């Protein structure tokens, strides 16, 4: 009989995901043994307060508030970091790697900003750092990009990378709730923090896009190279108009690569109701990968929360049980950043209700090489003003900015109310 493989873990943090991992390892221990011939032992838990271990039914003797005891313990095979935030997690992981401990982390902020330097430390010390759980929870996006497109060139990745904003936009679309009411619900359900900035401003999704772009394209994508626009300015009027036009508004993370030139953004998008991403609702995440031969493949699943993220952490741990290849290390080429994206636009303007207005706007678009696909007028709160909704053909984003700058200054235009990308 093959000897059972034992892996000893030092767990950093007993928060939402830490608790989920403890429960998963307890409930699935027989399945892990039968399927993988492995036994996972938690031998140390780093926390500030030992009472937390007893609260979760764990042996108080596992407690430590001194990371050095973990570094010095020869029985520890893997350090699992679930503390979140960049500091002190960065220092803890670096210390573990230098102590020749393998590391598993779910820390997207840290991996996005400092993953490269930590991977170098891991390589220098002959150990591995895995971080599947840093992107999209239980959705195996990193492993898919690394292992399932070996014979294909990835042209783009796009998707719903933040469950909180997807939940909010779903509620706004299906129930007509205001942004403020949806945010309050999301906070009450634990989807959104008391300070929701990272979610609603697209920062969380941008961290994940940065990490996944490195795997998709082999280019050294950086967080600051991603343009970010959140959902705080999305109105019920835009959602209603989008529905009439056959679209659903989603916050999408989008990365495209053309001739080693990388285009990356996070912004609200009118997604055609014919597209798979328009149908992803609630707190679910999705990632659509487009290859030059495989076309589009979409991964869907819960992207946040205790158990989905704990599942991804457990999968990384089992990689060590099988001594599988290192998903974390890859030589990256320097990325050239494309500042002028090509896309379709939805524009909503408030215009004076008088003759000749459409001609002025059409001429400005034409002068900037922008072709209009459709235009409709809609009601406005002001009886002397109409809302003009325009959808363009695919065009240069720089040309669009120039056109809108001129249009916003025209006497016949009261305001530029909304500018959104259109997909499909």
Q: Give the catalytic positions in this structure.
A: 208
* Tokens describing residue 325: 């290849």
Burial 92-128 (b: 16+ CB within 10 A, else e): bbbbbbebebbbbbbbbbbbbbbbeebbebbeeeebb
- Determine the 3-state secondary structure of 283 from DSSP: coil
Helix ranges restricted to H, 43-134: 51-55, 67-71, 89-98, 108-124
Residue 293 CA to residue 291 CA, distance in Å, equals 5
Q: Read off the tokens for 290.
A: 């487009």
Handedness of CA 302, 308, 309, 311 (dihedral sign): negative
375 contacts 412 by C-beta, under 8 angstroms: no
- Find out whether 296 and 286 touch, Cβ atoms under 8 Å: no
Q: Which residues contact 290 (CB under 8 A, 6 or more apart)?
A: 154, 155, 156, 157, 158, 296, 297
Mapping DSSP onto H, E and C, the string for 354-391 reads: CCCHHHHHHHHHHHCCCCEEEEEEECCCCCCEEEEEEE
Nearest-CA neighbor of 170 among 276, 83, 278? 278
106, 238, 300, 381, 384 from 362: Cα distances, Å: 49, 21, 40, 24, 21
The angle, 0 to 180 degrees and rounded to 10, between the axes of the packed helices 203-217 and 108-124 is 40
């Amino acid at each position: 009989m093959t000897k059972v493989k034992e892996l000893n873990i030092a767990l950093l943090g007993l928060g939402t995901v830490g608790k989920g991992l403890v429960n998963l390892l307890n409930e699935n221990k027989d399945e892990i043994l039968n399927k993988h011939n492995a036994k996972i032992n938690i031998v140390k838990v780093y926390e500030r307060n030992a009472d937390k271990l007893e609260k979760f039914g764990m042996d108080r003797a596992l407690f430590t508030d001194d990371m050095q005891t973990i570094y010095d313990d020869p029985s520890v095979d893997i350090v699992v970091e679930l503390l979140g935030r960049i500091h002190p997690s960065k220092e803890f992981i670096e210390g573990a790697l230098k102590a020749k401990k393998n590391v598993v982390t779910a820390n997207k902020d840290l991996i996005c900003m400092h993953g490269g330097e930590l991977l170098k430390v891991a390589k220098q010390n002959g150990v591995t750092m895995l971080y599947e759980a840093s992107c999209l929870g239980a959705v195996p996006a990193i492993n898919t990009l690394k292992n399932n497109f070996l014979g294909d060139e990835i042209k783009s990745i796009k998707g719903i990378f933040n469950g909180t904003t997807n939940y909010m936009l779903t509620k706004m679309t299906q129930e007509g709730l205001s942004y403020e009411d949806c945010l309050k619900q999301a906070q009450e359900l634990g989807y959104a923090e008391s300070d929701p900035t990272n979610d609603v401003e697209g920062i969380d999704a941008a961290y994940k896009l940065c990490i996944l772009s490195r795997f998709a394209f082999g280019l050294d994508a950086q967080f600051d190279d991603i343009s970010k626009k959140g959902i705080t300015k999305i109105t019920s009027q835009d959602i209603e108009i989008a529905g009439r036009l056959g679209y659903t508004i989603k916050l999408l993370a989008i990365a495209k690569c053309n001739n080693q030139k990388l285009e990356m953004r996070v912004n609200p998008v009118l997604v055609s109701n014919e597209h798979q991403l328009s149908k992803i609702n609630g707190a679910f995440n999705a990632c659509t990968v487009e290859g030059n031969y495989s076309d589009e493949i979409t991964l869907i699943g819960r992207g946040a929360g205790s158990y989905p993220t704990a599942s991804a952490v457990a999968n990384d741990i089992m990689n060590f049980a099988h001594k599988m290849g290192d998903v974390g290390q890859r030589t990256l080429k320097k990325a050239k950043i494309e500042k002028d994206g090509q896309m379709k636009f939805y524009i909503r303007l408030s215009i004076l209700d008088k003759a000749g207005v459409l001609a002025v706007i059409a001429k400005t678009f034409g002068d900037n090489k922008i072709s209009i696909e459709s235009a409709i007028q809609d009601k406005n709160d002001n009886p002397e003003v109409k809302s003009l909704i325009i959808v363009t053909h695919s065009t240069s984003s720089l040309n669009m900015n120039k056109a809108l700058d001129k249009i916003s200054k025209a006497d016949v235009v009261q305001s530029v109310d909304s500018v959104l990308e259109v997909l499909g």
